[in-house]
Amino acid sequence: MNYTGNIKNTLGEPLMGANVSAQSKRGLVGVISDFDGNFNWNPETELTSPITVSYVGYQSETLDPNEVVDKQIILKESTEQLDEVLIIAKKPKSKKEINKNELIGIISAGAGLLAIGILLVKFNK
């Protein structure tokens, strides 16, 4: 069966990269939505659970697979699920090297708002 739909938030904005997944006889399978919030999924195996649509910072939606054909899915913002996401990155080595595991940024979410702040960037001389 082919599953298709569009995922947006309550403001009508498309949610790019939303997860659409379900359990199957082969384990967890799924796809992500494109830039416009659209997804087109044709699993190679039979699904054994409902389809779950999820996106960071939003309440997940669980749907009967028979209902997911040209489905408009609206995800509601959740202020309870996301407390903090930590991102650790390392710049590629060049003339100036970065120490191992330098902390570059942290993303915190509170009251549904996403704030990005650079905590530390340190270069060796």
pLDDT in tens, 19-49: 999 998 888 899 999 999 999 999 888 899 9
The C-alpha torsion from 36 through 3 and 40 to 25, rounded to 10°, is 130
| Structural contact between residues 101 and 90, judged by C-beta atoms closer than 8 angstroms | yes
Tell me how crowded residue 75 is: count the other CB atoms within 10 A of its CB: 20
C-alpha pair distances (Å), 70 with each of 5, 39, 66, 77, 110: 4, 9, 11, 22, 33
* Domain positions in the chain: 3-75, 84-118
DSSP state string for 47-106 = B-S-EEEE-TTB--EEE-GGG-SSEEEEEPB-SSS-SEEEE---PPPSSSPBPTT---EE
The model's pTM is 0.63
Which tens digit of pLDDT belongs to each residue from 80-111? 655 566 666 655 555 455 444 443 433 333 33
- Answer whether CATH 2.60.40.1120 is correct for domain 3-75: yes
Quick check: helix, strand or coil at residue 39? strand
Q: Tokens 């599953």 sit at which residue? A: 3
